[in-house]
Structure 1
């Protein structure tokens, strides 16, 4: 089976054209070898290493499909060998700094920051 079809059947990508772009763009390795064609054949037992935006997926092909089924059906097509995401360290920002994406400080937060920095 073509690798782009299998990626689409396994619900790694949302569409087959995205699977083709992923495969031909050099983001997929088949048994450790980088592939450059979406028509590369994949078979049971192959290991795919897929580099997506912020994650690396390592999938071992367990079965082939004849159609794109539901998510539970798609999960039966592969075994996920990806390493678990590293737990975030117990990071506390320094006083006066906020977590990324925390939004604007409230009036209360600003008062605390100013009193800590000694800006009266």
Structure 2
């Protein structure tokens, strides 16, 4: 699934256009690799890191959403990972 569509479907951004602008700015990483194109693929098991609001969110993809559904359905598609004191995922 495209990373821009994934971020939109799991309700982290309000539109795919907004997701595309964050990605093209070079702030998103998938499995530690900087992503610059909205067409890059994300798969089950991938680790996605991106800046949102006033912090960095690190997510593990549990499953790929079929649609942009309710928030509860979207939250079931990813797991929020914590950050330890050194800044690495715990």
TM > 0.5:
yes
Supply the RMSD in Å over aligned alpha carbons: 1.3
Supply the distance in 1 between the matched residues of 2:53 and 2:79 (Cα, whole angstroms). Answer: 21
Structure with the higher fraction of residues in strand conformation: 2
SS of 2:4 mapped into structure 1? helix
Partner in structure 1 of residue 54 of structure 2: 54
Supply the distance in 1 between the matched residues of 2:17 and 2:27 (Cα, whole angstroms). Answer: 14
Give the structure with higher Rg (CA).
1
Partner in structure 2 of residue 101 of structure 1: none
Give the paired residue count.
84
Tell me by how many angstroms 1:65 deviates. 1.2
**TM-score of the superposed pair, with normalisation by structure 2:** 0.87
Partner in structure 2 of residue 20 of structure 1: 20
Structure 1 runs of 4+ with >2 Å offset = none
Unaligned segments of structure 2, at least 5 residues: 85-90
1:37-90 per-position Cα deviation (integer Å, ceiling 9, x unaligned): 000000000000111241110000000111100100000010000339xxxxxx
